[in-house]
Structure 1
Amino acid sequence: MSLLNETLEKIQPLNEEIMKKSKVRVDDLLKPVGSLGVLEEIAVQLSGISDEMFPDVSKKAMLVFCGDHGVFEEGVAAAPQEVTDLMAQMVVAGKSGVAVLCKQAGADVFVCDVGMISEIDPKSKILDKKIRKGTSNMRKGPAMTRDEAIASLEAGIDVAGRAIKNGYNILGTGEVGISNTTPSAAIFSAFSGVDPGELVGAGANLSEEKMVNKAQVIRDAITLNKPDKNDAIDVLAKVGGFEIGAMAGAMLAGASYKVPVLIDGFISTAAAAIAIALKPEVKGYLICSHASAERGAAFGSEFIGAKPFLNMGMRLGEGSGAAIAFNIVEAALYMNREMATYSDVGLGVV
C-alpha cells in the first residue's frame, strides 16, 4: 500500500467525547460564557484533535515547501522566477518574513525543495525532495503527471511525519514559489466552477492588466486539461503545483498523527482544499490562521468552511500568517489549562 493510502486510512474524525468535556470546562472558566471567543473554539478543537484535555503545542514546526511553475512563461507573475530560490535561501538564513515571525513564536523552520528549477547546494539546509525542476505549463498541458501529483503529496507526508516523530506537536504550512497564486486560483476554479476572474489577485504585485491575462491563462488551462472536480489528485495534477501538493500532504500527515496543522493564506488554503477533498475528516485537524488580503482568499476559506481568526491585511505567504497564529493557538491552550473555573471557587457559571 502506498504512503498516501496508508495515511488516508489512518485519519479518524475528531474525538467528540473529549470535545464535549472540554467545552464544559471552557464554559466553566472564570469568565462569561463565550467571552474569549475564538480562543474557546480553538481550545475545544485541540482537545478533539489530540484526545487530551490539555495537549502540548509548545514544540512548533513551520514546514515551507518550495517549487517553480511552468505557467510562469505566460506572464502571470511580476517577479522573476529566480526569486523562488532567493527566498528559499532567505528562509533558511532566518531573514525572510516567515523566518523572523517563527523566531518570535519559538517555532523551528524547515525548508523543503519539491520542485524548484534551481539546483540545491549539497551543503544547504534545504531538504531535497525535488520531484522535477518546475511543473509544466498548464496552459499547454497538465502541470504534472498523476504519479508526480501523488509524489508531491507523499513528499509532504514524509516531511511532516518525520517532524512529528521528532517531537513536534503542531505544524504550520508555508510555501515559496513565484507564480503559485495562479495554480491556487486554478484549483478553486476547477473545484467550484467559479470563473478565474473572480479569484485571481496581484500575487507579488502583478498589474491589473496582467491579472486579466492571468485569469484567461487559467480559463485556457481548465478548458484544455478538463480537471475532474471529483478527483482531487486529478485537479492537483492538471492545474496544481508541487509545493501545493506537499502542503496538502503535510496536512494529511498531521491529521493521521492527531497533530494540529495551521493553514496560512491563499496558497495554503488551496492545499487544504486538496487535502479535504481527499479525506473530508482532515478538516477538523486544520486551524485557519488569517484572512489573506489576496483576492480569492475569502472565497477559498469559505469554500473549505474555514474561519480565519486574524485579519491584518497580510498577503505575503511563506507561512507568515500561520507563524503569528502559533501564539494564538498556544494562548488558547494556556487559557483552558491555567484559568480557574467557577467550580474551583464554589460559584455557578455566569
Structure 2
Amino acid sequence: MFNQTDQMPVIRRVAIVGSGLAGLSASLLLRDENLAVTVFEKSRGPGGRMAAKRVPGGSADIGAQYFTARNPAFFRFLARHAGEACFGPWEGRFGYQSPGGEWESFPDEKRYVGIPRMTAITRGLSSTLDLRVETRIERLVGEGREWTLQDTDGNSYGPFDAVLVTAPPAQTQELFRNSELRTLAQALDESVSHIQPCWATALHFSQPLKQPYEGMRCQDAVLYWIANNSSKPGRDDHGEWWILHANPEWSHRHQDTAPDKVAEAMVAAFQRVIGSDTRPDELVSHRWLYAKSSSGDNPGFRWFADHRIGLAGDWLSGGRVEGAFESAKGLAEKILAR
C-alpha cells in the first residue's frame, strides 16, 4: 500500500490498538517523547490478561498471577507511571511438583502483584492516557501516507502516521484481513498456530485451607497452576479465594465445553492435587482463548516499515508479563530512532 522511500515522513501521531501492558507501555514511552498517542480498547477498561474478576466480597486475579522485574528499567517504569502504591511483592511460598509427584520449592525470586488487584497496575498506567474504551477497531484504512481507524459501530478515528497493534495474533490477523492487508495477515499464520487457550476458575472457601504453598505449579492431567489469591498483599477477603489454571492441552480439548462442566472437572482436580474433599461455596470460571504462546521464536516485536504498522506483546517476547514491556520498549525505540 505504501512505498518505502529515503525520506519517510516523521511519525507524530500514533494509534495503539489494545490496552494491555504492551499497549500501555508503548503509549507512555512514545508520549514521553512528545508523540501524540491514542489508545483503543474493545473492553470496558484496560488490562488485557492482567485481569481481575469481580467475585462476592471483592475480586480475584484470573489472568496473570504475578510478575518479575529482572530488567531494572521495567521496575523504574512501573514506579514512575503506575505509582509504587499500585504494586508490591507477594511473599508467598511457591512449590513445584516434579514429574514423579514430589513437591519442591520454587527458586527464590522476587515476585510482584498489583495491589489490591492486578488491574491496579494497568489502571495506574492508563490514568493519564487518551484511552477510548468499548471501541472495537475493525478496519484500518490507508489514505496516502496516513491511517484512519474504523470501529464496529461505523465511527472513524484519525488520521494517524502509524498504527501499533498489541492484540493477540489471531485478533491482529483478523484486523489485517478486514483491512485487506493480506501479506501482513499471512505473516501471522505461524504465530496464530502457537497460541494456547486456558480455562481459569476462582474458588471460595469460607475456612482457610491448610496448604504448604500459596502458589503451586502442578503435574496433573487437568491443572497447571494453583494459587491462594487471598495470600497476596492488599486482599481483604473473608475466607480464601483460590485460583486454578488448567493446562493448555486440557483447555484446548475442552475449549467449547460448558463452563459449569469445566468448573466441576477443575474442582475435582484441585481436590485431588491438595488431597482434600472440601467443596467451595462459590466459584467463577473464565475462558482465555489466547493465553500463551508455545513458540520458541521471540523476535521481541515486529515493525512493517512500508506500512508503518508495528506489533508488540508478550507473545513476541517469551510470554512473561515483563516480556510485554520489553516488546513495547523495543518497538517504541525502533519508531523513535526514525
Same fold (TM over 0.5): no
* Larger CA Rg, structure 1 vs 2: 2
More helix by share: 1
More strand by share: 2
Output the TM-score relative to the length of structure 2. Answer: 0.27
Output the TM-score relative to the length of structure 1. Answer: 0.26
